[in-house]
Amino acid sequence: MTKHDTWVKLKPGNPYEKIMVLFPSGMIPMRDPFPLERAAGEFQNEALWIIDLERLNSLQVSALAQVIATHYKVEFRQVAQEAAEKGGFAVRPEWIESMMCGAESMQRTKELADWLETAPQPPSETACMEFYNDQHARWIEGDEVPPPISSIEDIDSRLHTPELAEAMKRNEVNRMLANYSVFDVLSGRAMVEILNQQNPGQNWSLVGYGDDDEDDEDWYE
């Protein structure tokens, strides 16, 4: 099984705020593939997000079940049982602020876009189930590995957004910083070299501290 990589950040004021300390990154793992599920009962026909039970530790599972049980005034055992049947806990869409995807999520989204462009419109229920079953067999039960992503060029252009471009740029800088020592980062050497690599048309350099020809505060030129 591949490592699933769909995560979401919740909006302020969400019902789970008191237990978010149990999620140090501030991100909650969503079920893959297809983190959304059509609800029944009280929320019939509403698309709910499903938190991935398999990527939670026991403390997170217990806390989520307790919060949901208290919020809806039902028994803890009932919430835990429903979560086990669905493979996770349901979250209403109005609490989702943003979603973060990795290589697997990007590849699956590309495949969904390809399918939507080629499937008869509107897609029949049979066609939808065939696509879903194929995804489940390959990404959940199988060992399919997505193509690696090293730059935004490795991601289908249909999925490009300004936010994605900015995130990829930050990730690239973080990867480059990992090759430098703490001293290189603090002295500014790391940032100068990274700026030169990202902007070949400009020539950034580190000015010696205390240089008589430059102001002491002028570290870059």
The answer to whether the beta carbons of residues 8 and 55 sit under 8 Å apart is no
Instruction: Report whether pLDDT(174) > 80.
Output: no
Query: pLDDT-derived band of residue 115, with 50, 70 and 90 as boundaries?
Result: very high
For residue 179, is pLDDT > 90? no
Tell me: pLDDT of 198 over 80. Answer: no
**Model confidence pLDDT, tens digit, residues 8-41:** 999 999 999 999 999 988 999 998 767 777 666 6
CA 84 to CA 89: how far, in whole Å?
8
Give the three-state DSSP class for 22. helix
- Mean pLDDT, range 116-126, rounded to an integer: 88
Reply yes or no on whether the pLDDT at 221 is more than 80. Answer: no
Work out the mean pLDDT of the chain and round it to a whole number: 82
Contact (CB, 8 A) for 35 and 6 = yes
pLDDT-derived band at 62, boundaries 50, 70, 90: very high
pLDDT confidence of residue 21: 94
- pLDDT score, position 43: 61
User: What is the pLDDT, as a whole number, of residue 2?
Assistant: 47
Q: pLDDT-derived band of residue 180, with 50, 70 and 90 as boundaries?
A: confident
Phi-psi region of 210 (alpha: psi -120 to 50; beta: other; left: phi over 0): left
pLDDT tens readout for residues 157-167: 998 988 888 88
